[in-house]
Amino acid sequence: MADYKRLRRDLVAKGAIIDYYQDTMLIPNGNTAKWDLIDHKGAAAVVAVRDDGKLLMVRQYRNALERETLEIPAGGLNGREEPSLDAAKRELEEETGYVCEDLELLNSIYTTVAFCNEKIDIFLARNLKTGRQHLDEDEFLNVEAYTLDELKKMIFDCKIQDSKTICGILTYASKYA
């Protein structure tokens, strides 16, 4: 593989959950190029399966799409040093009101490798116990439960388009269904 070298990295904007950088890169043909980078601290998501086999989903408004989406519970790490397992447990309880002490890593994904380093670890939670839902001040969502077949149909009908959700559900289906 050819050599690439970062000559400089400039912070363009600092956001609440991401930072935007522009890198000046020396590319293999000797030229320089400007590449964008969205720096993200990481996230965790949970495929939460109730005892009846239904999967817990959250329906919420997403500003980037200007519409509601149906997703698996998820949220950002509270810093790069936070273990994703801890974030997964926290987000499961915050968003759904369920707790689980024994989570299993299903998959790790990078959401948009061309310009973003966001990594999401996706966990499986079974043997759920009732906890207490406590949403963030700016979070408004509904918790819904679906069968695996219903969710797969929504994926294949392009009704579920969120990448972490698709990956989590299909990985679970591949390993356990």
The residues, any chain, with a CB within 8 Å of residue 167's CB and separated by 6 or more, are: 107, 109, 122
Give the span between the Cα atoms of 106 and 4, in whole angstroms: 32
Half-sphere exposure of 153 (CA within 13 A, CB side): 5
Residue tagged active-site, from 66, 81, 101, 137: 137
Known catalytic residue at 137: yes
Give the span between the Cα atoms of 75 and 28, in whole angstroms: 37
The residues carrying an active-site annotation are: 137
